[in-house]
Amino acid sequence: MLRSLLKICIWVTICCLISTPGYAAQTTITDVRLGLHKDKTRFVIEIDQKPEYKIFFLPNPDRLVIDMQEVNWLDEATSKKGVGLIESYRYGLFRQGTSRIVLDLKTPVKILRETILPPTDKKPYRFFIDIAKTDQAQFAKSVEESRKRQVAAIKPRQENVPIPRSQLKHTIIVDAGHGGIDPGAIGKSGIYEKKLTLAVAKKLKTELEKDNRYRVILTRDRDTFLSLRERVDIAREYKGDLFISVHADSIGRSDIRGSTVYTCLKMHQMRKRQHWQQIMTRRM
């Protein structure tokens, strides 16, 4: 096996039905509702612990995003229809310790009010946001302000993290596709791709580790969201020799089964230039 970083990248598409247990956070959202008013739309959540949140805007398409502490969700559905200025909303685990709610907007909006109401005898904490219509220029300004706050909050990246590693072992990175707020494809039975890929990744890790020549690292071991950059960073941090990304297609045809494997081989020592040879193996 070649020893340079990520010499071979394999994209594995696996068609199977496997379920995996979810992770339970300590905080629970007990209710989510929308209120339609003449001059505003209200988004409300009821939560059993005080919410710790950050709000920012995203363009193309226009969205309002709420990040808060990791929570348990009401049900398995991650997408709901909206009302008023909200086209729809979705939620899920963004990364370990952080849950995310995304409000898909029908038009540019501004925030009129954001409030946390303390619990009463009959109600837990209530957190709501009132939004109203605005113009594109004001929304663009809000997006830019959001980006500045996010950049300011980024922690300096730690470089050259020492990772103990036996020279006798090859490191394999197994990447379960999708996760958290990104469910991936949804099968005819209603099962989410993110659950299939995580279950397959865990099984693959178990099988590979039966051979003591391999050390196996999962990019995620639970239902959490990882960006593409974060997945690559994990592979680099652990100095991966092989990167396996697991995905599951949903094509709606019962007469088609099997898997597809895509490989990318990084080649060196060819006129001192790097060349990528992409090979798509036969569809089984």
- Confidence tier at 273 by pLDDT (50, 70, 90): very low
pLDDT at 219: 93
Mean pLDDT computed over 149-172: 68
Question: What's the CA gap between 132 and 63, in Å, rounded?
Answer: 13
Please answer whether residues 239 and 165 qualify as being in contact, where contact means their C-beta atoms are separated by less than 8 angstroms: yes
Look at residue 277 and tell me whether its pLDDT is greater than 50. no
Q: Would the pTM of this model clear 0.75, i.e. be above it?
A: no
* Contacts for 176 with CB less than 8 Å, ≥ 6 apart: 194, 197, 198, 200, 201, 202, 218, 219, 220, 246
Instruction: Outline where DSSP puts E strands in 23-108.
Output: 27-36, 41-47, 53-58, 63-69, 71-72, 79-81, 86-95, 98-105
pLDDT digits (tens, 9 = 90+) for 48-64: 999 999 999 999 999 99
**Residue of 133, 137, 116 whose CA lies nearest to 66:** 116
d(CA 236, CA 253): 38
Strand locations in the chain, DSSP E? 8-14, 27-36, 41-47, 53-58, 63-69, 71-72, 79-81, 86-95, 98-105, 109-117, 125-133, 170-176, 214-218, 242-247, 259-270, 273-280
Query: Could you report the per-residue pLDDT of 211-256, keeping only the tens digit for each?
Result: 888 999 999 999 988 888 889 889 888 888 889 999 988 776 777 7
Other beta carbons less than 10 A from residue 99's beta carbon: 26
Q: In the predicted model, what is the mean pLDDT of residues 276-283?
A: 34
- CA pair distance 194, 157, nearest whole angstrom: 28
- pLDDT tens column, 114-151: 999 999 888 899 999 999 999 999 999 999 998 888 87
Q: What is the pLDDT of residues 66-108, one digit of tens each?
A: 999 999 876 655 678 899 999 999 888 888 788 999 999 999 9
Q: Which domains does the chain have, with CATH numbers?
A: 8-22+165-280 (3.40.630.40), 27-153 (2.60.40.3500)
